[in-house]
Structure 1
Amino acid sequence: MKKVAVIGSISTDFVVTTKIIPNQGETLVGESFQTFFGGKGANQAIALSRSGLDVSMIGAVGKDVFGQALIDNLKENGINTDMIQTVDTAESGSAHIQVMDGDNRIIIIPGANDRLSIDVVKQYQQQLQQMEMVILQNEIPVETIEYIIDFCATQRIQVLYNPAPAKEISEEYIEKVTYLTPNEHEAVLLFGNKERAEVLRNYPNKLIITLGNQGATFFDGEAEVIVPAQKVATVIDTTGAGDTFNGYFAKGILEGLTIAESLKLGNAASAIAIQTKGAQNGIPMYEKVVASL
């Protein structure tokens, strides 16, 4: 079984479903409130685990009522949690999500996720050397992300970097990662207002830009390739769709599929995920994704 490590955020999602998003100073009555397990790192780890990979996670939770539940949830999903820290100097991370007509707006409180320091990661260098891929997102400190990319480059470990939520990163680190998977908005922050085709040509078979319900695109060295999304009759909740996509894209790559085939797998998995409420609830098992293809 392929080994992969996710280094990233672990959080609780507090989700309000509403028919109207309030304006500044306005109070409205929503439809429902629910809590879910989340965090981009944890979501991607669960997608990878449900795809059939051997997954370990490095992250941090607070010593509060949410921390142990977050760890237990990962264990129940078959993820090695031995490298998750419990810190008593911060609350566990949280995301506060408004959902309207299947789309969402999110405010993140990093909490303990911001305590995932370089010194913490250094403790697990030996375990990381056993991994075939390391997956990163932007919900942990930038200096930690840069250290991990440098370490993986020296050890020849593949890195899939999902630069979400959007932050600026230097060209040096883009060059060092194996795959970079921003959405359209994140790509604009990273590369400015350059034409998409130009940006993709600069990073053949590395840069994958996700296009929402249009699918995903990359440059294969000869031409721009668009892998279309699977059509869905009813969208319930897009929270976690990108994380599901990244997890299943990584699954395809590690199983020897081409980039285009891996994108097709990721698109199929995320199409299933958005038909269920909650970032992790809808993440499908591998057999269901294959059946949908």
Structure 2
Amino acid sequence: MSEVVTMGEAMAVFAATDLDQPLWSANHFDKYLAGAEVNVATGVARLGHSVEYITQLGMDPIGKFIQYQLENNNIGTEYVNFSDEYQTGLMFKQRVSVGNPETANYRKNSAASHFNDKNIDKIDFHDTKIIHLTGIFPALSETTRLATERLFAMGKNSKKITTIFDTNLRPALWHYKQEMIETVNDFAHQAKIVLPGIHEGEILVGSSNPEQIADFYLTNSDITEAVVVKLGSDGAFVKEKNGNKLLVPGYKVDTIIDTVGAGDGFAVGLITGILEQLSLADSVRRGNAIGSLAVQSAGDNDGYPNADELMDYIAQRSIN
């Protein structure tokens, strides 16, 4: 089994190449592998670590494309299931020169949303060190929510596994805002490390103060050991259960091409830093570096580096 286990819905994203055109009028698209958790899996594998990805795909061309991309990126597929009844989800994404792109999702009733939670019981966690989960997969259906619960239980029952939860809000996937807030916070309280974004904290906690966001999760859980609040270009605020706290500055970039995948890139840096026994501060610093690389590339995970590229990037920025 792999060092890292993550679970989510993988999709194909058709990314427009026509700059600043609304999706309805764009005519040219490139096809990429997409999905927050698969972005993380891609980045972890690219840095030389083993990772297993759990999902369900349709027996259709998009599902076959995703399977090929997973295997081509050295991501474990032992627990990828296939459905001949439901289709694989996909999305379209605008290309913009400024701001966040318009997206259109076609994932309702997808194969992933019908993932059977009992499949979690088949997984071998013998070598697993980190379980990474987000607030996206439990939003898809009751069974994906139960699967997330089961995977969290595996982490809670093992002293050697660190559970990392990225809140990763997708309001469009939830029936009600309050349901989203309560469910995502409940899962956050089951994680040893919680990764909310500053704007997500405003929704989930009702505060834009990073320390207040961190305190909410630290004081309401006996499991949570550290909270890392992502601040975008300003870096990240870290607070631990023992009261230690620090602000880790971000990496400034000259040109932002696409912000999608930056938060997932941050998770890649944190996860791999922990695997390599870096300090929490250095792991967060690595996360900031990969997040800054991500926004300089058009694809969701195209900007994620290999080990040599990451080392060179950090060294160059240190010199500057």
TM-score, normalised on structure 2? 0.81
- 1:176 aligned counterpart, secondary structure: coil
Percent of aligned positions with the same letter in both sequences? Answer: 23
2:288 aligns to what SS in structure 1?
A: helix
TM-score (norm 1): 0.88
User: How many aligned residue pairs are there?
Assistant: 287
* Equivalence for 2:140: none
Verify: 1:56 aligned to 2:52, yes or no. yes
- How big is the shift at 1:106? 3.1
| Aligned mates of 1:77, 1:151 — CA distance in 2 | 26
Q: Check if 1:284 corresponds to 2:284.
A: no
CA distance in 2, matches of 1:17, 1:254: 37
Structure 1 runs of 4+ off > 6 angstroms? none
Q: What is the CA deviation profile of residues 218-271 of structure 1, one whole-angstrom value per residue up to 9, with x for unaligned ones? A: 224445422121111111122212111111210001211122111110111121
- Give the root-mean-square deviation of aligned CA atoms: 2.4
TM-fit CA distance, 1:38 = 0.9
TM-superposed CA distance for 1:109, in Å, is 3.4
In structure 2, stretches of 5+ residues that fail to align are: 138-143, 171-179, 219-224, 315-320
Partner of 1:158: 162
Counterpart CA distance in 1 for 2:206 and 2:89 is 30
Deviation of 1:13 after TM superposition, in Å, equals 0.7
Aligned to 2:114: 115
Opposite residue 205 of structure 2, the aligned amino acid is F
Change (3 A) 1:144 1:197: same
Q: 1:64-79 residue pairs with structure 2 within 5 A?
A: 64-79=60-75
Between the aligned partners of 1:94 and 1:128, the Cα distance in structure 2 is: 30
Give the alignment partner of residue 125 of structure 2, picking from 93, 114, 128.
Answer: 128
Higher mean displacement: 272-281 or 214-223: 214-223
Q: Which residue of 2 aligns with 1:99?
A: 95
Match of 1:219 in 2: 239
Please state how far the C-alpha of 1:12 moved relative to its aligned partner: 0.5
Instruction: Tell which deviates more after alignment, 45-54 or 136-145.
Output: 136-145
Cα drift, residue 170 of structure 1: 5.9
1:236 to 252, 257, 260: 257
SS state of the match for residue 104, structure 1?
coil
CA contact (8 A) 2:266 2:288 kept: yes
Identify which of 36, 39, 42 aligns with 2:38.
Answer: 42
Structure 1 197/151 Cα, relative in aligned 2: closer, same or farther at 3 Å? same
In structure 1, stretches of 5+ residues that fail to align are none
Instruction: Tell me the secondary structure at the aligned position of residue 199 of structure 2.
Output: helix
| Partner in structure 2 of residue 4 of structure 1 | 4
